[in-house]
């Protein structure tokens, strides 16, 4: 049973992966441009879009936003992750669902197009096709049967492992062929930049080099304020100005952290009309701890050993780090260090604020890297205690 309280309102903040925010901050220009595509089929350079950014930067939420806007304008949407079996899932299940959602007359037209051998009267999901299903011909057929209705294809979690890339580029190639017939298709891929770059490097993926690239970093201070304030309002409370400023400082504009900090502040005293500075201060420690275990640790684990070593060489400095210090701390050549610097810059983990220097761009990453460099408590105390109790000989 739901609680009867009239005063308690559930938190309107949405901390977590793949949980789109109630108030979406930033990216207005891109959203306007994409809306033009959905509304007027005015593609410009937006026929294919690559959305990059670190974990928690808002890529999946952006895909949800695009899906909502596209569907509002009558587009058909296909959305999936770039995981194993993508092609089979889309051709075997998503497309049949789309076909089922079409009007009777569209389905009849589709049936008359022999390309898609669907037995409309049969349960489409387990139809048997006389020709091998192909994404390309399915898309073209749907497009023809629907007077060239827009089709938005959203693929999340692009990853550059070999098997995945091979399957994904096969998938992308089918889409590009369908596009070349004039079908109104827009495709968006989301992932970490190095992985998207690798996808582009695959054979036959030249069409992706003409993609619109959007790199998600932090929200501006103004947008961070707006998200915190308006989300609180949507939940039916107000955010005290000093609490707002404090939450802006804690979150550093990093979307996942904006939601986490807002959520902890909300929960500190949920029946009060206002989120106060005290609530925001309580949120500080909790949000930092949570972001470390849910995001920063994963981000750091995603990195190669060498990338991690580069970050460890940056960690002793409180602010920016001189490249020459990294060269001497890593005991590697200048050239070698430059290669890793560029990779980390491209990926968004570090930024180059002035010539010859780098700085952490993800809030709290430095603290986390430092914590990994401290001796592990088990090694300093726990283990030595057990030395007096060795396992008995068999
Ligand atoms: N534009 C945004 N404005 C406010 N919060 C956002 C925005 N984008 C994402 N978030 C929040 O950030 C968190 C991570 O979002 P998600 O889309 O899963 O990121 P990613 O896919 O890049 O890892 C979620 O809690 C989400 O609600
Ligand atoms: Mg995501």
> Model confidence over 242-255: pLDDT tens digits?
999 999 999 999 99
Ligand nearest to the CA of 18: 1
- Highest-scoring range by mean pLDDT, 81-95, 167-181, 221-235: 221-235
Range name among 255-264, 328-337, 367-376 with the lowest pLDDT average: 367-376
Ligand 1 atom closest to the CA of 156, numbered from 1: 21
Which tops the pLDDT comparison, 347 or 281?
Answer: 281
Ligand 1 atom closest to the CA of 16, numbered from 1: 25
* Tens digit of each residue's pLDDT (9 = 90 or more) over 33-73: 999 999 999 998 899 999 999 889 999 999 999 999 999 99
Ligand 1, CB within 6 Å, residue ranges: 14-21, 24-26, 53, 55-61, 227, 255-256, 258-259
H or E element that contains 337:
helix 334-347
Ligand nearest to the CA of 62: 1
Contacts of 385 (CB under 8 A, 6+ apart): none
Ligand nearest to the CA of 51: 1
Residue with tokens 């949800």: 64
Cα 284 to averaged position of ligand 1 atoms, centre (Å): 19
pLDDT at residue 121, as a whole number: 39
Ligand 1 atom closest to the CA of 223, numbered from 1: 3
Residue 369: count of CB within 10 angstroms of its CB? 19
Chain centroid, CA 380 distance in Å: 39
Q: How many residues does the chain have?
A: 394
pLDDT band at 132 (very low <50, low <70, confident <90, very high): low
Pairing mode of beta strands 350-351, 357-360: antiparallel
Mean pLDDT in residue range 356-366:
91
Where are the extended beta strands (E) located within the chain?
48-53, 76-81, 151-158, 185-191, 212-216, 238-239, 274-275, 321-322, 350-351, 357-360
| Shortest-distance Cα residue to atom 14 of ligand 1 | 56
With beta carbons less than 8 A apart as the criterion, state whether 153 and 80 touch. no
Does residue 224 register a pLDDT over 50?
yes
pLDDT at residue 131, as a whole number: 52
Beta-carbon-side half-sphere exposure of residue 169 (alpha carbons within 13 Å): 20
* Tens digit of each residue's pLDDT (9 = 90 or more) over 86-102: 999 999 999 999 999 99
pLDDT at residue 123, as a whole number: 40
Cα 344 to averaged position of ligand 1 atoms, centre (Å): 21
* Tens digit of each residue's pLDDT (9 = 90 or more) over 96-127: 999 999 999 998 888 887 555 444 433 444 44
pLDDT band at 168 (very low <50, low <70, confident <90, very high): very high
| Shortest-distance Cα residue to atom 16 of ligand 1 | 58
Ligand 1 atom closest to the CA of 17, numbered from 1: 18
Pairing mode of beta strands 357-360, 321-322: antiparallel
Cα dihedral 44/116/96/131 (nearest 10):
-120
């Amino acid at each position: 049973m739901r609680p009867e309280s009239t005063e308690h309102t559930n938190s309107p903040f949405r901390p977590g992966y793949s949980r789109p925010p109630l108030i979406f901050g930033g990216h207005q220009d891109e959203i306007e441009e994409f809306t033009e595509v959905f509304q007027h089929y005015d593609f410009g350079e937006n026929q294919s879009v690559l959305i990059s950014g670190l974990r928690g930067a808002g890529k999946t939420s952006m895909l949800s936003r695009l899906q909502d806007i596209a569907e509002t304008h009558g587009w058909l949407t296909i959305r999936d992750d770039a995981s194993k079996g993508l092609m089979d899932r889309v051709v075997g299940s998503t497309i049949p669902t789309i076909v089922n959602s079409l009007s009777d007359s569209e389905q009849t037209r589709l049936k008359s197009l022999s390309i898609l051998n669907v037995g409309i009267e049969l349960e489409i999901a387990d139809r048997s096709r006389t020709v091998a299903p192909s994404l390309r011909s399915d898309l073209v057929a749907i497009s023809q049967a629907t007077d060239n209705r827009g089709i938005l294809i959203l693929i999340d979690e692009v990853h550059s492992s070999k098997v995945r890339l091979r399957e994904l580029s096969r998938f992308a190639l089918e889409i590009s062929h369908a596009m070349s017939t004039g079908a109104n298709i827009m495709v968006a891929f989301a992932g970490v930049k190095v992985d998207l770059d690798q996808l582009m490097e695959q054979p036959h993926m030249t069409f992706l080099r003409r993609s619109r690239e959007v790199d998600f970093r932090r929200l501006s201070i103004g947008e961070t304020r707006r998200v915190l304030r308006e989300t609180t309002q949507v939940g039916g409370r107000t955010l005290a100005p000093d609490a707002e400023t404090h939450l802006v400082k804690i979150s550093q504009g990093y979307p996942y952290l904006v939601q986490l900090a807002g959520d902890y502040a909300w929960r500190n005293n949920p029946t009060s009309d206002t989120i106060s500075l005290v609530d925001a201060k309580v949120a500080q420690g909790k949000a930092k701890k949570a972001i470390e275990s849910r995001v920063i640790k994963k981000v750091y684990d995603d990195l190669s050993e060498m990338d991690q070593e580069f970050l460890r060489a940056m960690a002793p400095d409180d602010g920016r780090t001189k490249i020459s210090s990294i060269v001497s701390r890593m005991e590697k050549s200048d050239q070698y260090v430059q290669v890793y610097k560029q990779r980390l810059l491209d990926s968004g983990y570090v930024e180059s604020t002035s010539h010859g220097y780098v700085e952490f761009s993800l809030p709290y990453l430095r603290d986390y890297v430092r914590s990994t460099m401290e001796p592990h408590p088990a090694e300093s105390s726990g283990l030595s205690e057990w030395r007096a109790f060795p396992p008995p000989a068999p």
